[in-house]
Structure 1
């Protein structure tokens, strides 16, 4: 019998996301799937901008990006003419990933499974959920294996990520409402059409419309035939038909291979009006199914899972009351409804059933092509429909109005995504560090602290009460450590350097303000510190419980002491005293690491078979961000190991051997330096300056890093220990 408090049914991208995020937060989870093993046939391809941001926050993007193809355009063809080429315009939606990544869902699932296995969770294949009975305190489930063995037990929480034919949804009596409008054919083929692979292509032919989506492999395309679905059991007949249609649209002979995969499917537009029933939840295709015309299904499902998992984790760990879970459906059901509307439009445009379409389309697109402002407007509208960056939760119970009242100021408002462009990330240290911070699975509290004792005190008070659930960051002009002495290991505010103030300006934060960011990167609250009460009131209103807060009372903190608060505070004082001693030791180890920054140490990564790889490396250490950096190249074993398994260690010792420190953490690997002035080279410059000072020829330095294909291996320190008799 499993002791895991969470049972996730379905090991597709949605279930894997839920399991990964729960496990990353220290919550035990069981993941089962009725299938005998992982899917091997091709399915979804597109990973859109918002999902790429989520993958970055999950720590998966460095593994996923090299295995996909970036698509930044949408091109329409008819009778040998290119009618128009739409560009992607993200100018009103700041993101570091202004593109869609085409990567086979099989690969996406593999990356998730491998990372989940590194965290100690394996999918239990061939084990299906047959039935369950919801209760007030648990869900009684019955699982059946492929060999007929049966397992019954009670689990506190159940998540159904089991697809369009969901057992969980059906047993809960939740009906998928909507319609089925089209029947299309999918075929994965190779072709010599020589179409630009940085674009999706819509081919209007005399025999209907074809949608072509590129695979990462050269010459391989997903072809969607929106009219002819016959002969699906005859690959040669399908090959001939597709070759004929593509030749007609492109105005030249085109060769097409026999399909490596064929599927006929009904385009459905359906969803349920509730995604939770007591202790049971549904996510992804179990809750809503969409037309593939805009590639929303997998993306919306991953976003469902990401939204749900951190909330469940906070409740299971006792950081928040159960009312936090009410926000899941309140936020995601309206998004599902909006997606149904946008995918209906996309389906109609792709299929183009209107008899006047072949006449009106060239005329209309010709006019659009000649009017630049109109073309840009259409490009923005098109991108907004599928990129996921416009998903907002302004009406959510987790989006708190400003306590100061009045018109909203600059920066994102509550319920809006916190994001920046690639240029801002490259040019501003504050944004770079905040993007790293958003990989932390906790809430994030930002407080400008420069010279403000009240702000520093408010940050420390919040950290002491909510530290395990909230990462507290002091926004400062300087990168000098600002954490107050004696703070506990879980409640140690850390500096977030913002030397040019760009981050504070972009977030609309002035002196005496705070911003609270949710674990999924959306702003929850922003307002005045109000003598330090502002953050506490916001956290209380959101349902987060701290020391002395009795579960989910619903009362705002700081108004009156909760019953039982005094004993809790006494226990907290004892714990704080012990934690202070631990912190003094950790500070000494970090000081050892900082004193030897620019020197050498031993980096420990894990080989594929689990054995350690020891590398003697030079390093730099930034105490303010608690980040250790190593310059390396893509072909090194340590680079490959860290990309595959981010768990790393680092050992440093003094010359006289009287002190040593061991530092464990999570690694991330930058992209390879491609331009003398790109973000990677800028970071290498910062590392050199911090340890060696000024270089005699910076241009030569920058060019050499590109020539050598250098990159940065970063380690965010999470745990340290060792022995110090004395430091040299």
Structure 2
């Protein structure tokens, strides 16, 4: 009996995808050729949008407790402070970047699988593939060289930049080198600066980045000059001298726990899908580590793909829904490759004539509040949108804020006598129907909103849940079978969502706006879900997903 999904690669992307699918009751196997989980820090920046996902998985607080929240980035040139970027202005509950070793991130993600009955199968490598119209047959090799075949309806390659799944399916495209080499080292550091921010030092011969890590360690990221001696591993004595020279201050390194030298090679596939095989994370695209976006982007890939794949696997939607995964995520990867390549070349600039110009440009640009806000919001992945997606639709009406395809902003509400945030209300396994009252909504308007919430749940059982958001702090009367009313006491939600009359927003399971309109009728909602998303109207059958765990 074939399983629903075989996931190759148990890094952060594969772990998150497995966690999302398992919550829907999708049968899966998660394999990894490595014998053990990651033991080193590797990718360590966890940004606000990723922390919102972690909150819905129930691991955000644990992640923050294990990491170091960093609220600012300080830039230096010639040892002098040049500019500062603060995360305090971003539109999120988590106004910082979390410094958390990848080993800890993987541990937390893997902990979400245990209650769902999923275990990572280690020392199991994917080697060969056969596809049919109904699924795939994969050849797997175990650590003892024994082979087996695995039948699955879908195969997802989350196996990193050197993806075997990508190569076997013929989706690989030649990459380009940025002629940039970096030394990384996790060490203890004796110097005169506090572990309160991410510091970047621009020197005459290169750049040094210094990031605080838990347990009194620091991550050093040092650009290696082109004329440097080729080496497999960093020379820590040279790294110490480079950090000291570029920061213009005494520095002493000790107790290294991990180090690596790498060169940047960028590549991206033209298509994320080949038959019943899809790619995610670094298997889809790999790029410069500038900005720490790689792991976060892979996690967003998984969160975008997970709910769509679950709908298709459970015959709740047509498989063409999976085509929107590439439509939405490829432009994100393409933009990331472009901006990180440009930023890396700008950072690596060695021309002594151009370096002073770089310093002036950076100093002037980053003094503008709007530039700072745009940069930190982009780093936090809050500006990612799917406005051109074929499954986004305006249903009519005038809205002064946001666009369909934008991330649903997190706003403060009140449920009963208790404060609550919208992200705590949104369902990661269902479409959430947000039904807004107007300032002058009459009792009959509220009744219509409650009826639409009931109708949506009845037409698409298990896939749509409704929430009424009432402006003000006067609790309206509701029947016992109606969901609790969320109070928008200070009007923040209505302002942020641009609502002036009774309106609905439909938020996708991944937290993005799929549909909105000012027509409070089940027909418009049903038309969007069935004809645009491709969701099956199961009201006459009473069908539900197998599990919403």
Taking structure 1 as the reference length, what is the TM-score of the superposition? 0.69
Give the structure 2 partner of residue 83 of structure 1. 82
Give the structure 1 partner of residue 199 of structure 2. 201
Q: In the TM superposition, what are the counterparts of 1:635-646 in structure 2 within 5 Å?
A: none
Give the structure 2 partner of residue 225 of structure 1. 223
| 1:399 to 2:396 alignment | no
Give the structure 2 partner of residue 542 of structure 1. 533
Q: Deviations over 1:375-407 (max 9, x none)?
A: x24323432442211100000012102334xxx
> Using the alignment, how far apart are the partners of 1:328 and 1:137 within structure 2?
20
> Using the alignment, how far apart are the partners of 1:509 and 1:206 within structure 2?
53
Is the CA contact 2:186–2:258 (under 8 Å) kept in the aligned structure 1?
yes
Is the CA contact 1:189–1:223 (under 8 Å) kept in the aligned structure 2?
no
> Using the alignment, how far apart are the partners of 1:234 and 1:503 within structure 2?
52
Give the structure 1 partner of residue 448 of structure 2. 454
Corresponding residue to 2:375 among 382, 403, 406: 382
Q: Deviations over 1:90-134 (max 9, x none)?
A: 3xx521112111100110000011121122111000111111112
> Using the alignment, how far apart are the partners of 2:158 and 2:417 within structure 1?
39
Relative distance call for 1:543 and 1:184 in structure 2 (3 A) is same
| 1:98 to 2:95 alignment | yes
Cα displacement (A) at 1:158: 0.8
Q: Which runs of 5+ in 2 are unaligned?
A: none
Relative distance call for 1:505 and 1:467 in structure 2 (3 A) is farther
| 1:268 to 2:265 alignment | yes
Give the structure 2 partner of residue 468 of structure 1. 462
| Counterpart secondary structure, 1:355 | coil
Is the CA contact 1:68–1:103 (under 8 Å) kept in the aligned structure 2?
yes
Relative distance call for 1:532 and 1:362 in structure 2 (3 A) is closer
Is the CA contact 2:409–2:496 (under 8 Å) kept in the aligned structure 1?
no
| Counterpart secondary structure, 1:5 | strand
Cα displacement (A) at 1:178: 3.7
Q: Deviations over 1:451-477 (max 9, x none)?
A: 223333222222111131111222346
Larger RCO: Structure 1 or Structure 2 (Cα < 8 Å, ≥ 6 residues apart)? 2
Taking structure 2 as the reference length, what is the TM-score of the superposition? 0.90
Q: In the TM superposition, what are the counterparts of 1:193-592 in structure 2 within 5 Å?
A: 193-227=191-225, 230=229, 232=231, 238-257=235-254, 259-364=256-361, 367=364, 372=367, 374=368, 376-404=369-397, 409-420=399-410, 424=412, 432-448=420-436, 451=443, 452=445, 453-476=447-470, 482=478, 485=481, 493-540=483-530, 541-547=532-538, 569=540, 572=542
Give the structure 1 partner of residue 55 of structure 2. 56
| Counterpart secondary structure, 2:311 | helix
Cα displacement (A) at 1:441: 1.8
Relative distance call for 1:393 and 1:177 in structure 2 (3 A) is farther
Cα displacement (A) at 1:21: 0.5
| Counterpart secondary structure, 1:458 | helix
Cα displacement (A) at 1:59: 2.1
Give the structure 2 partner of residue 168 of structure 1. 165
Relative distance call for 1:190 and 1:494 in structure 2 (3 A) is same
Question: Mean Cα displacement is larger for which, 274-283 or 509-518?
Answer: 509-518
Q: Deviations over 1:77-100 (max 9, x none)?
A: 34442233333363xx52111211
Cα displacement (A) at 1:514: 1.3
Q: Deviations over 1:18-56 (max 9, x none)?
A: 000111222222100111111213310101121112212
Report which of the two structures shows the higher radius of gyration computed on alpha carbons: 1
Relative distance call for 1:518 and 1:366 in structure 2 (3 A) is closer
Q: Deviations over 1:657-680 (max 9, x none)?
A: xxxxxxxxxxxxxxxxxxxxxxxx
Is the CA contact 1:177–1:272 (under 8 Å) kept in the aligned structure 2?
no
> Using the alignment, how far apart are the partners of 2:172 and 2:5 within structure 1?
24
RMSD, aligned α-carbons: 2.8
Give the structure 2 partner of residue 146 of structure 1. 143
Question: Mean Cα displacement is larger for which, 332-341 or 424-433?
Answer: 424-433
Is the CA contact 1:205–1:246 (under 8 Å) kept in the aligned structure 2?
no
Is the CA contact 1:476–1:495 (under 8 Å) kept in the aligned structure 2?
yes
Cα displacement (A) at 1:445: 0.7
Relative distance call for 1:144 and 1:359 in structure 2 (3 A) is same
Q: Deviations over 1:611-645 (max 9, x none)?
A: xxxxxxxxxxxxxxxxxxxxxxxxxxxxxxxxxxx
Give the structure 1 partner of residue 31 of structure 2. 32
Is the CA contact 2:280–2:298 (under 8 Å) kept in the aligned structure 1?
yes
Give the structure 2 partner of residue 638 of structure 1. none
Give the structure 2 partner of residue 661 of structure 1. none
> Using the alignment, how far apart are the partners of 2:280 and 2:462 within structure 1?
27
> Using the alignment, how far apart are the partners of 1:20 and 1:502 within structure 2?
33
